[in-house]
Structure 1
Amino acid sequence: MSNPPLIFIDGDQGTTGLLIHERLRDRKDLRILTLPAAERKDAQRRAEAINSADIALLCLPDAAAREAVALIENPRVRVIDASSAHRTSPGWVYGFPEMTPEQPQAIANAHRISNPGCYPTGAIALLRPLVQAGLVPADYPLSIHAVSGYSGGGRPQVEQYEGPEAASAAPFVLYGLGLQHKHPPEMQLHAGLTQRPIFLPAYGAFRQGIVLSIALQTRLLPAGSSLESLRAALQRHYAGARHVKVLDAEQSAATAQLDPTRHNGSNDMTLGVFGNPAEGHILLCAVFDNLGKGASGAAVQNLDLLLAAA
């Protein structure tokens, strides 16, 4: 009987790597390979490890992820990169299975998969179906706002909020004020936009979770675009999706606030369409775990697609 597939987690001590390891550690259908601390920066040992694997999960900074890919000589090795290094690169399949009906199969067949960013996951989930349906113009002047838990900043930010100086950590921080965040190109490409959206991120004094919102004005939308038609388009797109749910009209009316921690610890995401029809104002919202559907959960979902196709 052949051995289960060997999964190499490169960067298993980072926030995403630790959570992926935790999600996989009790699995009997695969074997996990990690390097001891003394060998993590040894190029030869990393090269041996990555070339011995069936699938490599890269949980690294962008530059280190590019270096890891350059070490691959074995054509059988398949890669899921959780960094932002390859999210807009030709030849890499975008690892958001719910993005299109064809995406799960594209991921299953791929040798190079780029895991989506946390913020782009919510923005693309909301926008791509609406742009493709012709309900939101591809050149709409979009402003995307999102608030994440502090874990989105990685270990330094976690230490700031959970370490000795936690009492002095800010309760809320708005950042990216120069509007040069790395995520807009990813959002633009995979949402099917022709113009770069404005993106303004923030984080609060909670560990994990995201609420992302996009405001629209019906006077700038095509005829037939309404709160109801946008909600219906999202419901059609995600009908039957295991991890993405769209609030119906009754659920939306009963929702007075959104808790960013609602899906913490899961790979689930909830989408909602709210607004004020009398004023022509529509609000698109996504709630999910930045460490789940926005990182480790999505990576394991993509891994399972690869394993099922093996």
Structure 2
Amino acid sequence: MEIEALEKFLIIAATENLQRSADRLDTSPGALSKTLKRLETELATRLFDRVGKQLKINDAGRRLQSRAVEMVAIARRVRSEVGELGGNQECRIAAPTMLQLAWGAFIQRKFLAEETAVRLSFTSAYEALALKMLSRGEVDLALITGAVLGQVSSTMEVLPLGSLSMYIAAGPDHPLIAEPGTQVKAALSDVLQYPFAAPRISPFCGEERGIGSDGWPEINYPRKVQVVVNDYGVLCQLVLNSGLLAFLPESLITEMGGVIVRVEDGPVKSREELFVAGRKADTTWLSKFPAWV
């Protein structure tokens, strides 16, 4: 069996849809269908049940899926060890958008400093889905918080990545910012006079928890939420360009060019412990992180 065919099979198994698989692989559904038929012919068994145009992975497909993850992981490890024979390598990372925004640039800089031939591929996925994608072999690493450590399977290894501290974020021209700088101090009563932008959905697990899902102690210190937005890219732009405040990771505020507002008289800072997970069968990329953090 060709490793490339197994890599394509894993994508088809994850999506159970040829069109979506083709979109992810930048190919055509017809080409993937031919690859799948060749694989089924080679194994002398069907891997999916067909109902019209729909695919549903069957027992044989699930058995191959677990083996294919191992085989592809070994092939990727060999490519990494052989180096020049492997050509350009790709490290695929699944993580919530928030963690990508807060840590993506850091990871990219580290990889570029040591692995100039590596291409990083980020996929947005809430934590539970990121772990599922990792177990199915769709990605090589998953970024998660300590809240989902109980969902990590025995086939995975987890390393501490650091922590994520949440602070109030403001744009450089916000009225709270009297002088240019990256940080200011303010009284909570002053902060609460100004409107916020906030999400309804938890940035990590993806559950809809209402206002306060960003970690702000809403019950004790209710804010004036003027804009509700779940897209953190848009939220960052609102902070920088629309005069709104937000509750964001310290590293993200710095990366986006905002100002950290430290509250002097109220417990409105929260902290999340971060971890990177990889499969024990392939620690090629995971092994790099201890030296970086």
Q: Which has the higher contact order (CA 8 A, sep 6+)?
A: 2
Normalised by the length of structure 2, the TM-score is: 0.31
Q: Which has the larger radius of gyration?
A: 2
Name the structure where strand makes up a greater proportion of residues: 2
Normalised by the length of structure 1, the TM-score is: 0.30
